[in-house]
Structure 1
Amino acid sequence: MSKLLTPVTILFAFFLLCTHLTLHAAEIGKTAPEAALQGVSTSSKLSDFKGKLVYLDFWASWCGPCKKSFPWMNAMQSKYESQGFKIIAVNVDTDIGDWKNFLATVPANFDIALDPKGITAKLFDIKGMPTSILIGRDGKVIAQHSGFNDETRNRIEKEIQLQLEVK
């Protein structure tokens, strides 16, 4: 019995250790993972925007709530850009035509990054569309939101306003 118990105990301890050490990529209060952002015309790194309040939004052309979020994001970028607010919308479509068609009907007045292989989405452990992550001027994750509707829209804008007041 004790010979069997030892390997089981070791496996159980290993499992507990692994699950305890697993960190969520966008853990609130922790520094956001470094991400290479390939834009439509330029590329950058997430850390290039340190000092700004960043709203990192993951979206796809087939996502209904994403279509509703773009006009709101356009308004937020316009309203708060002068205060150091930056929106970067990361598209996860694998077909270039899909995101191009989307943007032809739902224009964006903010930066678009392309993630057709899902590398950045995996880095942030994104589970659904849209998902947004608010990153503070210090590069730490402030909040994460899944989905988009009137309730989340109002809550996110209040968080943005609050963070812009903090310098």
Structure 2
Amino acid sequence: MIKKLQICAFVIASVIFSQSLWANDNNSVNTIELLEQQLASNKGDVIYVDFWASWCIPCRQSFPWMNNLKAKYQADGLTIISVNLDHSRTLANEFLAEIPADFPVIFDPKGLIARKYKLKGMPSSFVVDRTGQIISVHVGFNQQKKIAYEEEIKTLLQL
């Protein structure tokens, strides 16, 4: 298990910090601004921001959970936003065809948002309270974390 985590951490660091791995895309879309616009337009909600990639095995488990979370708590003021870090949009689209997202996806092939938020692993997530403050940062996803993350979100929704 530790060996797998070490390999995963190496791959994540390589993807996030190596410019040569990002698609050579001349698109001038500023993904940081896209996320900031999403956060601003949903201020007043509790926001769960999820960072993912097609190669991330725990992400395959987190997507159905996030879809369920949205269905359960959207009426209470929960917004989910995801940020894809694949260098290839095709890889991300293949993932989404297999495991659809019922929430907005920002495609960040150059990892601008990942660098700004100093991600430490995949998947990573941020929980933002109704005032727009980041309350917590999560790395990883499993059954125990899923329960803890949902409890944290339910608590913030009640405030």
Q: TM-score, normalised by structure 1?
A: 0.74
Matches of 2:83 and 2:61, distance apart in 1? 16
Unaligned runs of 5+ in 1: 1-34
Partner of 1:134: 127
Deviations 1:94-145 (A, max 9, x none): 1010000000001111111111111111111112110000000101111111
1:92 paired residue among 73, 80, 85: 85
Matches of 2:126 and 2:37, distance apart in 1? 17
Tell me how far 1:45 sits from its aligned partner. Answer: 3.9
What RMSD in Å do the two structures reach over aligned CA positions?
1.6
1:163 aligns with 2:156: yes
Matches of 2:45 and 2:138, distance apart in 1? 19
Matched residue SS, 1:44: helix
> Aligned AA for 1:85?
L
1:103 aligns with 2:96: yes
Matches of 1:110 and 1:56, distance apart in 2? 10
1:37 aligns with 2:34: yes
Q: Which has the higher helix share?
A: 2
Matched residue SS, 2:132: coil
Tell me how far 1:50 sits from its aligned partner. Answer: 1.0
Partner of 1:15: none
1:54 paired residue among 41, 47, 50: 47
Tell me how far 1:44 sits from its aligned partner. Answer: 3.4
1:68 aligns with 2:90: no
Unaligned runs of 5+ in 2: 1-31
Does the CA contact (< 8 Å) of 1:58 and 1:92 recur in 2? yes
Matches of 1:143 and 1:118, distance apart in 2? 21
Does the CA contact (< 8 Å) of 1:57 and 1:90 recur in 2? yes
